[in-house]
């Protein structure tokens, strides 16, 4: 199940960034499951990783390598997360980096590994290493869709976004892919995301752009409240366009980058495991960002709210209860207004005088649902995106290893 269009977008190639995809047979024979990405010399790189303390071996290695040098290659495998695998997992990730380094005649430090799939199983190193050559042979600046398909796990569709924007009178391309469907509540990152631009930007500004764009996109989505062990987002800038990003045009670049990040983040929610609803939760009139997000996540992650959404049941009391238990001090419930797809459902501490069950039923039939909570406490507004909680979500996760 998924919501919205499943059409893969037109992907503008990024000069200086290539992707090659192959089938190694890591979990399912014949399935695209190994992706190699080549980054041109002179590029800059920035990344954010999971804050889960049981972070996967490839996350540990990628962070170490990135601290020492700018990467030349990224290696991504699906079918196995290489998480919860101890010292052997570290050694296995390093072995995969070494295989790429040998094939490309570079140092192992110049390779960053990424993995996604089942946690706690040994990484099939020999299978992955033997397929590196095939992935390298397939490297192409037009390899985005194959790569988007090659990083999927329980996803039902590949996810990509691309745009060309004008900066200082010259075109700049920003293109990216991501994967994610379940175990989604990013904490500094998403499941896996790879975005490249042909703009020239130094590492300090690139990191700033990544943090800001990430904060308004991947850190504003939740499917089930679970932060993965393998979350990572990479942002690469090749500089091939010759357009230099500086303090003067940074905001222009950031607008385009955030656009791409939001599209990718929303595509994860639209393909959330078992999703039949795409849900936007707006919190308005908060005193602080922390307060707004506390209310938003209380609603978005409430199993009772999410199951009501699955049934298209305008059970507004569940939303009211979720707001009331959010970690907000001195919350005056008599000032709160709650709307469902523009239908005012709660006001002055109870059901709105104008509300009817028929209005609520009509609003809940839509595939896209917008819940707006006005706190009337301050000037801060925050938005996040989530899914409903369906029978299919339970089935997918109950059968994941079988």
pLDDT tens figures, 360-400: 999 999 999 999 999 999 999 999 999 999 998 889 888 87
Q: What integer is the mean pLDDT of 191-198? A: 96
pLDDT confidence of residue 401? 74
pLDDT confidence of residue 47? 97
Label residue 190 by pLDDT band (50, 70, 90). low
* 4 occurs within a structural domain: no
Q: Are 226 and 272 in contact (CB under 8 A)?
A: no
Q: Left, alpha or beta for 20 (phi > 0: left; psi -120 to 50: alpha)? A: beta
Cα angle, residue 289 at apex, residues 287 and 295 outer, rounded to 5°:
85
Domain shared by 211 and 256, yes or no: yes
- Of the candidates 44, 173, 175, 190, the residue annotated as catalytic is 190
Domain shared by 266 and 288, yes or no: no
pTM of the model: 0.95
Give 326's Cβ-side CA count (13 Å radius): 28
Last residue of a domain, one of 270, 294, 319: 270
For residue 85 the two structure tokens come to 């695998």
Domain shared by 215 and 319, yes or no: no
Q: Are 153 and 78 in contact (CB under 8 A)?
A: yes
Domain holding 331, by residue range, is 278-398
* 240 occurs within a structural domain: yes
Q: What integer is the mean pLDDT of 320-342? A: 94
Label residue 26 by pLDDT band (50, 70, 90). very high
* Diameter over CA atoms, the chain: 72
Domain shared by 326 and 204, yes or no: no
Measured N-to-C along each axis, helices 250-270 and 203-215 cross at an angle, to the nearest 10 degrees, of: 40
pLDDT confidence of residue 402? 65
Domain shared by 370 and 314, yes or no: yes
Which stretches does DSSP call E strand in 189-301? 192-197, 221-222, 232-237, 278-286
* 76 occurs within a structural domain: yes
For residue 103 the two structure tokens come to 């094939």
Domain shared by 112 and 240, yes or no: yes
255 is catalytic: no
More confident residue, 311 or 191: 311
Nearest to 31 by CA among 133, 94, 117: 117
């Amino acid at each position: 199940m998924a919501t919205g269009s499943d059409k893969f977008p037109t992907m503008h190639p990024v000069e200086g960034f290539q992707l090659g995809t192959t089938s190694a047979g890591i979990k399912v024979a014949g399935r695209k499951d190994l992706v190699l990405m080549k980054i041109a010399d002179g590029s800059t790189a920035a990344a954010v990783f999971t804050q889960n303390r049981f972070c996967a071996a490839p996350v540990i290695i990628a962070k170490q390598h990135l601290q020492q040098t700018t990467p030349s290659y990224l290696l991504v495998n699906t079918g196995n997360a290489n998480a919860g695998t101890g010292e052997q997992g570290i050694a296995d990730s390093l072995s995969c980096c070494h295989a790429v380094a040998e094939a490309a005649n570079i140092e192992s430090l110049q390779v960053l590994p990424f993995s996604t799939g089942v946690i706690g199983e040994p990484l099939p190193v020999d299978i992955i290493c033997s397929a590196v050559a095939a992935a390298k042979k397939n490297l192409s600046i037009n390899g985005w869709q194959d790569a988007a398909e090659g990083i999927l796990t329980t996803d039902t569709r590949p996810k990509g976004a691309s745009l060309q924007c004008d900066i200082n009178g010259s075109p700049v391309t920003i293109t990216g892919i991501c994967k994610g469907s379940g175990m989604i509540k990013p904490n500094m990152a998403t499941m896996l995301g790879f975005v490249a631009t042909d703009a020239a930007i130094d590492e300090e500004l690139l990191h700033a752009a990544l943090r800001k764009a990430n904060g308004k996109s991947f850190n504003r989505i939740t499917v089930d409240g679970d932060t993965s062990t393998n979350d990572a987002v990479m942002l690469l800038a090749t500089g091939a366009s010759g357009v230099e990003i500086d303090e003067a045009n940074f905001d222009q670049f950031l607008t385009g980058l955030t656009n791409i990040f939001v599209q990718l983040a929303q595509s994860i929610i639209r393909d959330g495991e078992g999703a039949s609803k795409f849900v936007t939760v707006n919190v308005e009139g908060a005193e602080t960002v922390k307060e707004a997000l506390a209310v938003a996540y209380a609603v978005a992650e409430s199993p009772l709210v999410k199951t009501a959404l699955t049934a298209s049941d305008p059970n507004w009391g569940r939303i009211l209860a979720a707001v009331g238990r959010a970690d907000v001090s001195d919350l005056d419930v008599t000032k709160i207004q709650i709307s469902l797809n523009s239908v005012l459902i709660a006001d002055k501490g109870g059901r709105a005088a104008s509300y009817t069950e028929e209005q609520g039923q009509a609003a809940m039939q839509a595939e896209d649902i917008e819940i707006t909570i006005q706190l009337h406490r301050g000037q801060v507004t925050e938005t996040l995106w989530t899914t409903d909680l369906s029978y299919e979500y339970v089935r997918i996760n109950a059968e994941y290893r079988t």
